[in-house]
Structure 1
Amino acid sequence: MTKLIDFDAYTDGAKRTESHREPSTASLTNFMDALMLANLAAELLDLYKKDLFYGRGIDAAKREEILTHMANTINGAAGPNDLPTDPGVPNVNPRLLHAVIGKFTEAGEMIQALGEAIETGNLDIVNLAEEVGDDKWYDALLLDELKKLSGGSITIDRVLQTNLDKLAARYPEKFEGRLAITRDLDAERAILERVAS
């Protein structure tokens, strides 16, 4: 039987393999285009999630708006040689930058595995499990940095409990699709703010 590992021990192991390289001077304009496209892709998938699991239906106008914005971003994107005076990615916390981008790229690999399973009928559970582990590696770095930035108040235990508290406020009895759509965002934010207090 495999020994269970707690998240703090996992974080210590993850930090051992963390890159400490400062971000390069990648083009800020191109980087912001990539962030915009990632955000739009997430918004588009969110429309489908809400249709598939909450019964909301696809908002055709919103879908078209997202696709148009994506196309405009791609068509207006600067090429690598079009930015001689581009200042590069600004001095952002490199650990947060690395962790957040890493989580998105790992999610992309999970989406790729899901797409392959839909196309072939075969799910590679070993690959999917690996991507879950990689995602947790980025969670470890992200939470470690948030813990430092919050003076120690943001911990995995507090994050998980706060998430359960938010969900209990959203779904007092059990999951209901209508409650997933008609959320009290102000009340949820008040609960979420407790994590850093």
Structure 2
Amino acid sequence: MRNLGRILAVLIVLAIAAFLLFMCSVNDIPDPVAEPATVEEIAEPESLPEPVIAPEPVIEPEPAPEPEVVALDPASCTFPGDGFTPHPHGFRPEPGQYVDYDQPSLISGLDTTDRRGVAMPESYTGSGDSACVVVTYDIGADGVPLNAQVYDSALASGADPATFEDLALYYVGEMRYTPAERNGKPVRIDDNTDEIRFEALEE
């Protein structure tokens, strides 16, 4: 019995020592190291809003002033010089050469000798009271005008030259003549000129 008591006492002492040793070892265990946060776990910083740039104000250019309408009253055109003296088909007689030559004469179309002229085009809205266009042309051996071209024009400022010039060429194209004759034969006559006058005619 005495040995049994000693054995129990030794076991108790060993149990106490083991318990104390266990408690000491528990206190020496280091704290677990936290794992580093992954890239996905790191919150991205909120992106700042882009600054709003106000558009620059558009400065519209000032409209160009309209040209002042200058009326030509009366209109005055320039006529061709001596180089446009009519000759039948460019023919110039030699000194002393006999030539029986008959001038062409207008039989239909606009009579340019009527100084009253023709009415202004309907599309014309300017302030000018008159305008004129000088047209040069040939007269064929059949009496029909050929090669009509505008030589000069005088219009009010701001008027469209094409309106008047096209109309003047139309009037010349509608003219018909008895052909010129040289020694009794019809011939073409070159370098004729006519002034087509446009007037603000009253109804």
TM bracket, shorter-chain basis = under 0.3
**Structure with greater Cα Rg:** 2
Pick 1 or 2: higher relative contact order, CA cutoff 8 A, min separation 6: 2
More helix by share: 1
Report the TM-score when normalising by structure 1: 0.21
More strand by share: 2
